[in-house]
Structure 1
Amino acid sequence: MSDVITQAADFLRVLDLASAVVFAITGALVASRKQMDIVGFLWLGVVTGVGGGTVRDLLLGAPVFWVVDATPLALCLAAAAIVHFSAHLVASRYRILLYLDAFGMALVTTVGTAKALDMGTGPLVAVGMGVITAAVGGILRDLLGQEPSILLRRDIYVTAAAFGSIALLVADGLGLSRLAATGIAIGIGFGVRAGAVRFDLYLPVFRPRPGRIPGRRGEVE
């Protein structure tokens, strides 16, 4: 039993590292679009890479993952530096940014949800942790890079994260192994987000409507 728990923890750590690197690359790509210097690349890369996981750990009362072990921080710095010297080789950085962000979102959603479950939270809190982990890094990246925030765009993003998180809960409830459940959750989260990007899908938005005329029946002037 202890071996299974250790393997699950190691797997989550690998996903945490992978998601930090992927998100760091998206932050560096935004820096390249904004024509920042190397410090800007490093700053956006690190904040985007570890931002969501930091908030997740603080809310769960767990040791912040990159404070306990600085490996994620080093990997984010390295990824951002590499992008700084290679971003000009990519013809369409924005398209790559969107799909990398979708993959990073799927990874961190899964990690956030699994970590919350392993710490004994309920299903609703676990989904919340997954979505928060996915959204915070992107929000910080967009704010610092002066891009429209993912929360203010009509894109299917938070919804995709919620689908991925719920998929993990369902797969876990069905008794699937953590590896299989994680694969399903990542696939669904990424599939929903990537499909929305590819086919320009979005949820119905609020449309302003004329207000009621005061004085009519049932209305207070």
Structure 2
Amino acid sequence: MDLLAEFSFIKILDLFGTFAFAVSGIRLASGKNIDWFGAYVIGLVTAIGGGTIRDLLLDVKPFWMLDATYLLITGIALLVAIIFKEKLLRLGNTLFIFDTVGLGLFTTVGISKSFDAGLPFWVCIMMGAITGTVGGVIRDVLINEVPLLFRKDIYALACIAGGLVFFVCYQFDILFPVVEILAAATVIFIRLIAVKYHIQLPILNLDKTKEDRNE
């Protein structure tokens, strides 16, 4: 019974994360002169890209090949975006909100699945970050944007922080669903705070300045 409840909770996180990431991908595609099918594809790769890479690294069949629900949820996300497009467009931070929620949920799902596979904690944290970020990287490449992961925003670091919280809480024998909620909340909270207060990593610039070149 506990295992069933555990599975159900992970599944819920996974499905909510799929919807959130699909909406974020579709919303971003809407400004790129892409048709409905193209928007669906962008939403789908955003939702399943990171999890696919994770499963390939774990040497298991990608999750979406075993359950068509993820394809259906992406379709629902597209319909929601089309039906409520006026509201989505009016809310300038819609993309950020959905992307942040998806990041937190998918990071937790990636950590949990890797943990169940018996991998070391540092590998689980990396798998969580991959699950949360790679879909967005693929999305950005397809629509010709610099991937958010490689900009100065706090993004992958939020996933790593969530992973650390996950394993610290686990050491204190906290209920596993609570651990997962805390980890996801940590990722979301750090991402929100970083954007709100403009907390960013310094830009790497190893080139000489223009003044130096002119001398």
Give TM-score scaled by structure 1 length: 0.88
Q: What's the counterpart of residue 102 of structure 2?
A: 104
Q: Partner of 1:120: helix, strand, or coil?
A: coil
Tell me if structure 1 keeps the 8 A contact 2:128–2:163.
yes
Q: What's the counterpart of residue 174 of structure 1?
A: 172
Q: What's the counterpart of residue 21 of structure 1?
A: 19
Q: What's the counterpart of residue 163 of structure 1?
A: 161
Deviation at 1:85, TM superposition (A): 3.6
Tell me if structure 2 keeps the 8 A contact 1:32–1:84.
no
Q: Partner of 2:150: helix, strand, or coil?
A: coil
Q: Deviations over 1:156-187 (max 9, x none)?
A: 00001111111111111211111110111111
Q: What's the counterpart of residue 82 of structure 2?
A: 84
Q: Deviations over 1:53-100 (max 9, x none)?
A: 111111112232111111111111221232134323334455211121
Q: What's the counterpart of residue 9 of structure 1?
A: 7
Tell me if structure 2 keeps the 8 A contact 1:109–1:134.
yes
Aligned length: 209
Aligned ranges for residues 1-221 of structure 1 at < 5 Å? 3-92=1-90, 94-208=92-206
Q: Partner of 1:33: helix, strand, or coil?
A: coil
Q: Structure 1 residues 85 and 38 mapped into 2: Cα distance closer, same or farther (>3 Å)? A: farther
Deviation at 1:151, TM superposition (A): 2.6
Give me the whole-angstrom Cα distance separating, in 2, the residues matched to 1:28 and 1:56.
Answer: 22
Query: Gapped runs of 5+ residues in structure 1?
Result: 211-221
Tell me if structure 1 keeps the 8 A contact 2:163–2:183.
yes
Deviation at 1:139, TM superposition (A): 0.4
RMSD: 1.7
Deviation at 1:14, TM superposition (A): 1.4
Give TM-score scaled by structure 2 length: 0.91
Alignment-mate amino acid for residue 126 of structure 2: G
Deviation at 1:101, TM superposition (A): 0.7
Give me the whole-angstrom Cα distance separating, in 2, the residues matched to 1:209 and 1:133.
Answer: 33
Q: Deviations over 1:106-154 (max 9, x none)?
A: 0000000011001100001100100000111110111112222113210
Structure showing greater Rg: 1
